[in-house]
Amino acid sequence: MEVAYYSPVSWEEAVKLLAEDADHSKILAGGTDLIIQLKQKNVKPAAIIDITRIPGIRDISVNSNEVCLGSAVTFTQVAEHKVLRGKVPVLTEAAEAVGSPQIRNRGTLGGNIANASPAADVVPALLALDTLVWVRSIRGERKLKLEDVLVAPGRTNLAADEVITKLSFQIPGENTKSAFVKLGRRNALAIARMNLALVVTFEAGTRITEKVVMALGAVGPTAYLYRGVHEALAGRQLTDEAIERAAVLTSEEVAARLGTRSTAHYKKEAVKGIVYEAFYRILHSEYGAQ
């Protein structure tokens, strides 16, 4: 059976097409995951809706306190965005950690969320930035916290007739620094064994942490925010001991999350390494507040 291919040029058109046969339609943004699934016949949609020709869908807007990203913004666009690099290195580093240049040129932020891979690189970074996900359907528009979108591997809380239109988050203040760390089996074209996004806000001019936001990927069914480190570290000096404490707590968290899974033994130990690396980069970063 021939697949119908649509290239709507407005959101109205897109959601209308989607509503016609939502269960048998697939949204195409970058295509880097969908096309593999099509080839492997894991999905057999009746219709493919290519949303990349909708005006504004590749726009990045940064105003004084908010960043807004169209859902088809590519990883390359994010990775090479100088303003974002200065303000939210956690996100640009995550975008840069994705697969390969070819994949980064096509793969999109919206696609990364909608696919709900537990090892997606950009998702922990967006989680740590408290990102809002804007979705649309013929029933209207709504926004959700990213944390509430992710359900399980390959599953989100979005309805079949909903499509992600954009993402937004508040720009962290001047005293905030951030970093993203990926542990893979090699330095490119790697699926994350684990990844971690860290956003730390300091009290002005000190090494005292006000807020520590940590998101972890590939240690459970979805990437998630781990709040234990904030509880232990907030209001204290970010000393070597504090970092070790953060590493140990994260390790315990990972052990609890993974339980008896065969990967637990390794991951609970190795996560300490990526916690160390993230704090190291935050303390030695050339970007963000000094």
Partner 1 sequence: MSYKWVGKPIIRKDALDKATGRTKYMTDLEFRGMLWGKIVRAGIPHAKILEIDTTEAESCEGVVAVVTYKDVPGLNGYGIHIPDQPVFCQDKVRYEGDAVAGIVATSREIAEEAAAKVSIKYEQLPGVFDARQALADGAPKVHDNGNILLQTRVQIGDVDAAFQEADLIVETEYYTPVQFPVYLELEGGIGEYKDGSMTIWCGSQYPSQDQRQLSQVLSLPEEKIRIISNPVGGAFGGKDDLTIQAQLAVMAYKVGKPVKLVNSREESNKTSWKRHPMFITMKTAAKRDGTLLANKVEIISDTGAYAGLGGPVLTNTVGHACGSYRVPNIDLAGYCLYTNNSPCSAMRGFGVPQINFAMESQMEIIAEKLGMDPVEIRLRNSLVTGDKGPLGNTLPMTMGIVPTLLKAKESNLWLKRNDLKKQVSRPWKKRGVGIATSVKGVGLGKGIPDYSSVEITLTGTGEYVVSTGCPEIGQGNHIAFAQMAAEALQCPLNKVRIIQGDSSCTPDSGVTAASRTVYAVGNAILLAAKEIKRKIKQLAAEHWGVAVEELTLDEYKVCCKEKQVAISELAQLLEKQGITVKASSYFDMPVADKGIDGLHGLPHILFGATTQIALVEVDTKTGFVEVLESICIPDAGKIINLQGLEGQAEGGTVMGMGYAIMEKAEIKEGHVLTDNYDTYLIPTSLDTPDIAVHPVEELEETGPFGAKGIAESLCTTITSAVINAIYDAVGVRITHLPASLEEVLFGIKQGEV
Partner 2 sequence: MAKYSFILNGKRVEWEGSPTRTLLQVLREDFKLTGTKEGCGKGECGACTVLIDGEAVNSCLVLIPQVEGHEVLTIEGLSKDDQLDRLQESFISEGAIQCGYCTPGMILSAKALLLKNSKPSRAEIKKAISGNLCRCTGYTKIITAVEKACSE
Residues at the interface with partner 1 (CB under 8 A): 100, 183, 185-191, 193, 266, 269-270, 272-274, 276-277, 280
Question: How many Å apart are CA 32 and CA 49, to the nearest integer?
Answer: 15
Establish if 68 lies at the interface with partner 2 (CB under 8 A). Answer: no
143 φ, ψ (degrees, to nearest 5): -125, 140
Establish if 50 lies at the interface with partner 2 (CB under 8 A). Answer: yes
Q: Which does 270 bind (CB under 5 to 8 A by kind): partner 1, partner 2, none?
A: partner 1
Q: Which does 7 bind (CB under 5 to 8 A by kind): partner 1, partner 2, none?
A: partner 2
Using alpha carbons only, how large is the chain's radius of gyration in Å? 19
Establish if 173 lies at the interface with partner 2 (CB under 8 A). Answer: no
Site for partner 2 in 199-228 (CB under 8 A): none
Which one of the spans 108-116, 182-190, 248-256, 272-280 is the region binding partner 2 (CB under 8 A)? 182-190
Residues 6+ apart with CB under 8 A from 35: none
Which residues on adjacent β-strands are paired with residue 178? 199
Question: How many Å apart are CA 174 and CA 205, to the nearest integer?
Answer: 10
User: Token pair of 119, please?
Assistant: 């090892």
With CA atoms as reference, report the closest residue to 182 among 115, 263, 273.
273
With CA atoms as reference, report the closest residue to 52 among 69, 66, 73.
73
Minimum distance from residue 21 beta carbon to partner 2 (Å): 16
Which residues on adjacent β-strands are paired with residue 78? none
Q: Which does 13 bind (CB under 5 to 8 A by kind): partner 1, partner 2, none?
A: none
The 95-124 site mask, x for binding partner 2 (CB under 8 A), equals ----xxxxx-xx------------------
Establish if 28 lies at the interface with partner 2 (CB under 8 A). Answer: yes
184/221 with CB nearer partner 2: 184
Find the helix or strand (DSSP H, E) in which 132 lies: strand 132-137
User: Token pair of 70, please?
Assistant: 């169209």
- One-letter identity of residue 249: L
Minimum distance from residue 251 beta carbon to partner 1 (Å): 10
Applying CB under 8 A, among 83, 188, 248, 256 the residue interacting with partner 2 is: 188
38/208 with CB nearer partner 2: 38
Is 150 in a helix, a strand, or coil?
strand
Q: Where are the beta strands (DSSP E) in 146-232?
A: 150-152, 155-156, 163-170, 176-183, 194-202, 209-217, 224-226
Question: How many Å apart are CA 277 and CA 275, to the nearest integer?
Answer: 5
Q: Which residue has the tokens 């090892």?
A: 119
Q: Which residue has the tokens 């520590």?
A: 212
Applying CB under 8 A, among 17, 18, 27, 48 the residue interacting with partner 2 is: 48
Establish if 42 lies at the interface with partner 2 (CB under 8 A). Answer: no
Q: Which does 272 bind (CB under 5 to 8 A by kind): partner 1, partner 2, none?
A: partner 1
Which one of the spans 48-56, 124-132, 149-157, 164-172 is the region binding partner 2 (CB under 8 A)? 48-56
Minimum distance from residue 117 beta carbon to partner 1 (Å): 12
Minimum distance from residue 245 beta carbon to partner 2 (Å): 34
Residues 6+ apart with CB under 8 A from 281: 179, 181
Residues at the contact surface with partner 2, assessed by CB under 8 A? 2-3, 5, 7, 28, 31-32, 35-36, 38-39, 48, 50, 52, 76, 99-103, 105-106, 187-189
